[in-house]
Amino acid sequence: MDECVVIKGKRILLIISGGIAAYKGPDLVRRLRERGASVRCVLTAGGAKFVSPLALSTVSGDKVYQELFSLIDEREIGHIELSRDADILVVAPASANILAKMVQGQADDIATTALLATDKPVVVAPAMNIRMWEHAATQVNVAALRSRGVTTLGPAEGDMACGEYGMGRMLEPVEIADALEAFFRDRERLSGRRALVTSGPTLEAIDPVRYITNRSSGKQGHAIASALAQLGTETTLVSGPTREPDPTGVRVIHVESARQMLKACEGTLPVDVAVFAAAVSDWRAAMEANGKIKKRPGETTTTLDLVENPDILATISSAGNRRPQLVVGFAAETDDVIDNAARKLETKGCDWIVANDISKAAGTFGGVANTVHLISRDGVENWPRLSKATVGERLAKRIAQRLTEAND
Ligand code: CTP
């Protein structure tokens, strides 16, 4: 597919917030227009300290929106119309302040009001001082936005206007334009596609108060579902009990046991792609007691009979004509990660295995980062240590690519 075709004709609402990188706004507008997009600019009060509205209106060929309540503008086009008219809202640069306001749903200027009033895809390109970026508040805010379906581009590492070096630089306009191209291309590839993702642990009851479970947080599975939905896939997430919020734009089915998870998964078929990120309990109690199991006087040891749970991944992989076009399993391993995972490709009958090292030293379980290897019959791709959100985005892009190749 011709790269520029996908962005041609797209209407981009570019929100420029306060930060030195705002001076790159006109360059970004120019590059997007060169590729055939139309760009309408919203400039915050902070942004206007770094770039002039005149420069932006000259390069965009449109007026620049700065006021929330302007009688003339509201008659022409108000904040609701601004987001209704756009195919995508892009915040670049996105300051720490505007990210925090987005999380809280504040709407005290035209930029934040347009962002609150939209149901269109939102992309942010953060730019700020390294310590502001690394501050726990910003990191929590970015994670919250991502779980609500906001796509983040960057920031990058480099020299900063404040004289420091580190993470926090806005991506260059050409990189943002390329990323938006890729975003539209992947959305086009995945539009009309259906995905199933499993996430979290399962919970297997022993009696009304006790159960067997594991340490899976659900962060990775939820991030994958969110990333697929951001790219326009109709996504169903079947999740065991987790503390993760339901991702925006995703249909979520909450389950407890492996058997419930299997039933829910089968109920979503047919889908184009299924990703099994849940840490399903291999075993369940042979007999779930109706009443609380009592400790008998003098009892110092006891045994619990377990029976095997159904293998959800293997079942869906061999679902005949209901088998998804692409089936992706996970392999959580502590030793011989790649060998053990590659074996699962065969035993489970799936197309890809995402292998991850869950040894204590790797800190994967419950943590925000993941080091994974994407294993297929074509070989092994070793991905660097990435946040789970980024692993989700990268996997969603690879899925988009694979589904398109398969149809070519
Ligand atoms: N899986 C599943 N149903 C099960 C067990 C596992 O769908 N009953 C899926 C997981 O979601 C994952 C893959 O199978 O995608 C591998 O899970 P893992 O726990 O690593 O493998 P196991 O088959 O349980 O093997 P082992 O515990 O021996 O490593």
Q: Are strands 306-308 and 283-285 parallel, antiparallel or unpaired?
A: antiparallel
In this predicted model, what pLDDT tens digit does every residue of 79-131 receive, in sequence order?
A: 788 889 999 999 999 999 999 999 999 999 999 999 999 999 999 999 999 99
Tokens of 266: 């089968």
Q: Assess whether the C-beta atom of 288 lies below 6 angstroms from ligand 1.
A: no
Left if phi > 0, otherwise alpha if psi is -120 to 50, otherwise beta: which for 242?
beta
Q: What is the pLDDT of residue 306?
A: 98
User: Pick the residue with more confidence: 363 or 50?
Assistant: 50
Q: How confident is the model at residue 73 (pLDDT cuts 50, 70, 90)?
A: low
Q: What is the pLDDT of residue 232?
A: 93
- Ligand 1 geometric centre to CA of 372 (Å): 16
Quote the CA–CA distance of 18 and 48 in Å, as a whole number: 7
Return the residue whose CA atom lies nearest to atom 6 of ligand 1.
280
Task: Among 202, 282, 354, 357, say which to mutate for ligand 1: greatest number of ligand atoms within 8 Å of CB.
Answer: 282
Q: How confident is the model at residue 178 (pLDDT cuts 50, 70, 90)?
A: very high
Residue 365's alpha-carbon distances to 116, 215, 276, in angstroms, are: 34, 6, 16
Any residues with CB less than 8 A from the CB of 14 and at least 6 apart, and which? Answer: 25, 28, 29, 32, 39, 40, 41, 42, 60, 90, 92
For the CA of 313, the nearest atom of ligand 1 = 7
Quote the CA–CA distance of 250 and 259 in Å, as a whole number: 22
Q: What is the pLDDT of residue 185?
A: 94
Mean pLDDT value of segment 165-179: 94
Q: What is the pLDDT of residue 260?
A: 98
Q: Assess whether the C-beta atom of 317 lies below 6 angstroms from ligand 1.
A: no
Alpha-helical segments (H) within 9-163: 25-34, 53-60, 71-76, 79-84, 96-104, 110-116, 130-134, 136-147
User: Burial of 119 by CB count in 10 Å (0-12 exposed, 13-18 middle, 19+ buried)?
Assistant: exposed
For the CA of 340, the nearest atom of ligand 1 = 29
- Ligand 1 geometric centre to CA of 127 (Å): 40
For the CA of 314, the nearest atom of ligand 1 = 7
Q: What is the pLDDT of residue 67?
A: 85
Q: How confident is the model at residue 75 (pLDDT cuts 50, 70, 90)?
A: low
Q: Assess whether the C-beta atom of 329 lies below 6 angstroms from ligand 1.
A: yes
Q: CA nearest 170: which of 22, 53, 318, 15?
A: 22
Return the residue whose CA atom lies nearest to atom 8 of ligand 1.
311
Quote the CA–CA distance of 328 and 353 in Å, as a whole number: 6
Q: Assess whether the C-beta atom of 201 lies below 6 angstroms from ligand 1.
A: no
Of 184-188, 194-198, 332-336, 346-350, the range with the lowest mean pLDDT is 332-336
pLDDT at residue 240 is higher than 90: yes
Contact 149, 249 (CB under 8 A): yes
Q: Assess whether the C-beta atom of 280 lies below 6 angstroms from ligand 1.
A: yes
Give the percent of the chain with pLDDT over 70.
96
Mean pLDDT value of segment 37-59: 97
- Ligand 1 geometric centre to CA of 317 (Å): 13
Q: What is the pLDDT of residue 69?
A: 73
DSSP-based three-state secondary structure for 385: coil
**Average model confidence (pLDDT) across the chain:** 93
User: Burial of 113 by CB count in 10 Å (0-12 exposed, 13-18 middle, 19+ buried)?
Assistant: buried
Helix (H) or strand (E) holding 331: strand 326-333
Of the candidates 4, 41, 162, 350, the residue annotated as catalytic is 162
Answer yes or no: 162 catalytic.
yes
Q: What is the pLDDT of residue 76?
A: 56
Beta bridge partners of 340: none
Mean pLDDT value of segment 162-179: 92
Q: Assess whether the C-beta atom of 216 lies below 6 angstroms from ligand 1.
A: no
**Residue where the block lists tokens 């040891």:** 301
- Ligand 1 geometric centre to CA of 154 (Å): 33
Return the residue whose CA atom lies nearest to atom 18 of ligand 1.
331
Q: What is the pLDDT of residue 72?
A: 56
Q: What is the DSSP letter of 207?
A: S
Contact 342, 319 (CB under 8 A): no
Return the residue whose CA atom lies nearest to atom 14 of ligand 1.
313
Quote the CA–CA distance of 192 and 35 in Å, as a whole number: 25
Contact 95, 129 (CB under 8 A): no
Q: What is the pLDDT of residue 1?
A: 47
Q: How confident is the model at residue 162 (pLDDT cuts 50, 70, 90)?
A: confident
The amino acid present at 228, given as its one-letter code, is L
In this predicted model, what pLDDT tens digit does every residue of 283-334 receive, in sequence order?
A: 999 999 999 999 999 989 999 999 999 999 999 999 999 999 999 999 988 8
Mean pLDDT value of segment 347-368: 84
Quote the CA–CA distance of 120 and 111 in Å, as a whole number: 14
